[in-house]
Structure 1
């Protein structure tokens, strides 16, 4: 049950909000706690009223932390004034300082300082923490969002434009995409970054943090890619490994970790993070149990291929149920939430070393990666079915690899799920055993 008294204290026969100020910003804010009366003696009513106030007070703390984080001395000075800009003497000091800046640096920096210090405009990332809490992004996506917002702020500074939410015009957004976001990045990655910043502005408008109006990012499109020259290599994008590549990878020595990880990826069709998250208890009764993954459909069981039994036995013997199957991976640091990153990087180095790579036209990322084992598994299962393998059907493939089948016609979906029930385990096993490593 939620604690009703969280952020509340009894004061003067009524409840008030109380938010502790972190020690690192107490000198800036000038006090050890921030309070605000709620004008009610009813605890339940106070619990309901407190959250907007808590959000506002935490915004003050975030603004103080922004002062410490910025590398721009003038911006830091403006943000310091902003913390107490409601006071009359502070407003006088802001105007006086803006006049001094105009004399020494020009009118544009002076206006930017005055607007920021007097709260006429809002820093780009002022509401970023609240936005991230609302979106519930995973750590990687959160990092991508903060990254693109930082790039945009740096571009605005370099372009001598106000680094403020209210000042962003549609023309500025378009120029940023062409001059910065697309430089040195694939179109796919740039599109993802554009999506983050567009969502941020949509949320700002929805929550009333910006005056109602047009979203400068809505409808923005990335510049068209240059057409390939006549002599350019054909690039069909990400693909499965060929049998020859699988043979080359599995016959080499990738070390204890990869020598077990690669066959498991090839003969289970699991994603690398799903494999690296397996515990000893998830490898019982000749089944891998996947409890979480990229989508809701990722939660499933996968029969342990006969070619993997020796690896599983060796890695589970004498271990506790709570131990990881691949215990030789380092602990997850606070900077990420995926356990498989070191394994993926080690595989990339090994793959390149043995000459398995495909980067047409010197593209940044290869068309083959560890996920190509999963693609290879799916292709081999399909090929086996087309060649007459029995005991499984096309539905079985989606359940083994954890793909959604919601796109199918509802009548078929109902007949398979509603009446026939889940695909029997023997069908899954038939499919897995139909996949053979190249000899």
Structure 2
């Protein structure tokens, strides 16, 4: 028999030893809120976690209820029926329209009467009973009246907007996050969630709040604000909104010093990473080696098939804005790894079967689990460069790609050849459009110039960079 759920731990899960509250989101609302609402309780003690849960669960339920309201209510709910009634009234004759209006007014009265209290009010004409409806009933009727009069819930068209986007499924996850940020702000400002309430003044207020009063990084602020701006542009083009009040607004990028940017690994860090002993052993070290000696991105490495290796080169799938797959010569230091991983395998087999992808229903990339394990490994051995206020370390898996490019440049490899090897757009119309690409043997010779630091523990002598790094205190 299936095990019965523990009601005492309802909504509670453990992540890295800390209890967190997790609540599933109805399928219809996932374009607004994501698959689940999750918040850490910040404690490892079950008793404290249950106290925190009792405060968080009502907040999650309210977010879900507000999300229903923002898209026009649940199917067959009052808001949804009001939207349908409004649509029917556009073509109804006068008698039918009057009948529908009368029915709506009777329903409003039923809502206001339910749970209301009555008080006697003294007036010049005598004592008159006055109804005091429940606040939530008054708010609901106010919203319904506005919808009936022509106002539209902000999220009503959002799913159609998302469905029409020509972007990767994982990128579409930013759309509900952005919409949720806007709706949460409107709730905090007591602004009803209607398209018509987003005028220029409120658009500027939202921009100022997002820029100054949230803990998001500049990149996240700009991304989410850009998604809201694009949604409103879509609404305006289809005349669902009168205008796009966000169209000329932007979140300015703060000035940063070169030393504050993400960077490549040093040779000492490369030595420490490759000589370390991750829990996953060769499963992780092999991925690191391939990334280090090809300059390929993590997704491209993890997704390799045995059939992507042929005649001494890798065929990497297109990434980001690359137009197609690209062939990269195999570095001599990868020969042993390649031979071991293709032995007795079929072309359709994964080169790294130890890192399987998420369920087919997930939009996460196959590399997501590896990325989490890699972050833990670098933290365990102290290969991190973190600063307060930064979302992530200045060195991360992408630093392998930076290290590879740096080594190629210092080996005096031509810039157009480096760009062709790592899949960057080459400069100028001549090379970008008309050239068939550099010779394969030239790329093979260039890649062989990239040398790993000694992996026997010998001292590492760092090459001096023309761009000096800030010394750590």
Question: Shorter-chain-normalised TM-score: which range?
Answer: 0.7 to 0.9
1:347 paired with 2:362, answer no
2:251 to 222, 243, 247: 222
RMSD: 3.0
Residue segments in structure 2 that go unaligned for 5+ positions in a row: 1-26, 29-63, 90-96, 113-131, 455-473
Partner of 1:364: 391
Q: CA deviation at 1:412?
A: 5.9
C-alpha change, 1:365 and 1:200, in structure 2 (3 Å) is same
1:436 paired with 2:451, answer yes
Deviations 1:297-342 (A, max 9, x none): 4621011111111111111111111111111113332221411111
1:160 paired with 2:175, answer no
Partner of 1:291: 317
TM alignment of 1:190-205, pairs within 5 A = 190-205=221-236
C-alpha change, 1:317 and 1:73, in structure 2 (3 Å) is closer
Deviations 1:175-233 (A, max 9, x none): 2233346512101111011111111111111122223x3x12122233786x99xxxx9
TM alignment of 1:253-402, pairs within 5 A = 253-254=277-278, 255=280, 256-297=282-323, 299-333=325-359, 334-385=361-412, 393-402=414-423
TM alignment of 1:400-419, pairs within 5 A = 400-405=421-426, 407-408=427-428, 410-411=429-430, 417-418=434-435
Contact kept in structure 1, 2:69 and 2:79, CA below 8 Å? no
Partner of 1:240: 264
Contact kept in structure 1, 2:70 and 2:155, CA below 8 Å? no
C-alpha change, 1:284 and 1:367, in structure 2 (3 Å) is same
Deviations 1:322-381 (A, max 9, x none): 111111113332221411111111111111111011122342211111010000000000
TM alignment of 1:59-78, pairs within 5 A = 70=68, 75=73, 76-78=77-79
**What TM-score, normalized by structure 2, do the two folds share?**
0.69
C-alpha change, 1:432 and 1:129, in structure 2 (3 Å) is same
1:95 paired with 2:113, answer no
C-alpha change, 1:73 and 1:343, in structure 2 (3 Å) is closer
In 1, the alpha carbon distance for the partners of 2:350 and 2:250 equals 44
Partner SS for 2:327? strand
In 1, the alpha carbon distance for the partners of 2:366 and 2:156 equals 31
What is the total number of aligned residue pairs between the two structures?
Answer: 356
